[in-house]
Amino acid sequence: MLELFKNLRQSNEDQIDELLSAYLDGMLTSDEQATLGARLRREPALRNRLEGLRLTASVLKDLPEVKIPRNFILSPSMVAPPRPAPRPRRRQAWPVFGWATAAVTLLFLLAFAGDVFVVAPSLHPQPTVMVREELPRAIPSSDRTVPPPEAAALTEKEGAPETEAPAESAEYMAVATEEVEAEAKAVEVVVEGEVVITLEAEAPMEMMEPDTATAAEAPAATVLVEPSEAMAGGGEAPADEEDERMYSAPTPPEEGTPMSLRQATPEPAAAEVGQAVITTPEAAAEGAPVLVSPPQGWTEEAGEYELETTVQEFSTPDAVALVPLHVTPEVEGTEPVAERVMPWLRLLELALGLTVVGLAAATVITRRRGV
């Protein structure tokens, strides 16, 4: 309440001072001046108030002028157009987008490489089997027409007692072929005497190399692999059974084409698991297997051996080359993991690819705008 009274009083005094100040300067209308004049004659306090304002204005007017410290004339450099202030260096955004694009691209490439080289191959394991390859029969110069082989048979070469050993060990029956066709030949592969795999191959047998010899590439070859266990006590496989598991004539060699053959070495007594058996048509006809020494590099676990790739002529009309195929025994439990990972990996590749495209576009746009 007191504050309000003070404000009202102050406001009233301000109004009075404003009237008096304007009265001093002759800024009132004639009516206002007459009215204020009458009040001034009646109110001494109002007159004192007016006198105080008048005196203050008067002494201010008498303030002396201060001497200037120097001349303020302008020089050309003072009035030169001001240089525009350098634009603050803003952190540009496009380099950030560029680095992000590079990083995401690297991640995408890593994911793609993992897909191509790790996950995808693990879903399609390559079997390795021993493939008995029927080499094209070397047709004597006197007689090039050789009937196709009809059946595989174990033949016995010299050192017949040694042939008994195969019965106790893994036997590899080789079937000689009399003619080798140039067209694609199926290769029948018997793994461990139980599974028959038929493989298609186009290349002639003479061009085969051991490390690339797969069931699909093995030309005209027939292999019968019978582990010793399977053949324990079995002795020679019956020809009929062999017929069921083997087949057709391989591609006949081109005239003069040398063939490779690892000749059987007559060590039938040392025949063990892994020994390859090579037979000739004549020996096959006689039913005697021809044992050969284990190929170099043969191991029981690997179940493969290396075949000499050098092609050389041989005098025997028939020969069998063993073409290794690679078999990766299936290990239970690995496939499901790859199958589980594949969809997620593909999804990751797709996401990373889209991100790369988006970041690359953002980089280009921001760089063009100078952001």
Partner 1 sequence: MDEQTLIKAAQRGDLNAFNELVLQYQSRVYNVAYRIMGDGDSAADATQEAFISAYRAIGGYRGGSFRSWLMRIVTNACYDELRRRKRRPTSSLEALYVTDAAPSEALVNGAEKPEAYAQRQDLNRALHAGLQTLPVEQRTTLVLSDVQGYDYREIAEMTGASLGTVKSRLSRARAKMRDYLLEQGELLPSLYRLHNE
Site residues, partner 1 (CB under 8 A): 13-14, 17-18, 20-22, 25, 27, 52-53, 55-61, 63-74, 76, 78-79
Q: Which is nearer to partner 1, 37 or 52 (CB)?
A: 52
Q: Least CB distance from residue 77 to partner 1, whole Å?
A: 11
Beta carbons of 115 and 240 less than 8 angstroms apart: no
Alpha helices in the chain (DSSP H): 2-25, 30-42, 44-61, 94-114, 120-123, 165-168, 239-245, 281-286, 334-369
Q: Which is nearer to partner 1, 4 or 80 (CB)?
A: 80
CA-based angle 17:52:34, to the nearest 5? 55
Q: Least CB distance from residue 110 to partner 1, whole Å?
A: 56
Q: Which is nearer to partner 1, 54 or 367 (CB)?
A: 54
Q: Least CB distance from residue 58 to partner 1, whole Å?
A: 6
Strand-by-strand arrangement of the 185-191 sheet: 171-173, 222-226, 185-191, 195-201
Q: Do β-strands 171-173 and 222-226 pair in parallel, antiparallel, or remain unpaired?
A: antiparallel
Q: Which is nearer to partner 1, 57 or 120 (CB)?
A: 57
Structure tokens, 234: 């079995």
Q: How far apart are CA 323 and CA 185, in angstroms?
A: 14
Q: Least CB distance from residue 61 to partner 1, whole Å?
A: 6
Q: How far apart are CA 185 and CA 135, in angstroms?
A: 12
Q: Which is nearer to partner 1, 70 or 91 (CB)?
A: 70
Q: Least CB distance from residue 356 to partner 1, whole Å?
A: 50
Q: How far apart are CA 155 and CA 330, in angstroms?
A: 34
Nearest to 245 by CA among 171, 330, 321, 326: 171
Q: Which is nearer to partner 1, 56 or 312 (CB)?
A: 56
CA torsion sign, 241 to 246 to 249 to 254? negative
Q: Which is nearer to partner 1, 28 or 119 (CB)?
A: 28
Q: Which is nearer to partner 1, 2 or 59 (CB)?
A: 59
* DSSP 8-state class, residue 220: S
Q: Least CB distance from residue 349 to partner 1, whole Å?
A: 58
Q: Least CB distance from residue 20 to partner 1, whole Å?
A: 7
Q: Which is nearer to partner 1, 61 or 90 (CB)?
A: 61
Q: Least CB distance from residue 89 to partner 1, whole Å?
A: 24
Structure tokens, 362: 């953002």
Instruction: Point out which residues pair with 201 in neighbouring strands.
Output: 185
Q: Which is nearer to partner 1, 24 or 364 (CB)?
A: 24
Cα 104 off chain centre by? 13
Residue type, position 358, single letter? G
Q: How far apart are CA 133 and CA 224, in angstroms?
A: 9
DSSP per-residue string spanning 131-156: EEEEPPP---TT----PPP-------
Structure tokens, 351: 């996401």
Q: Least CB distance from residue 28 to partner 1, whole Å?
A: 10
Backbone phi, psi, residue 95, to 5°: -65, -35
Q: Least CB distance from residue 32 to partner 1, whole Å?
A: 12
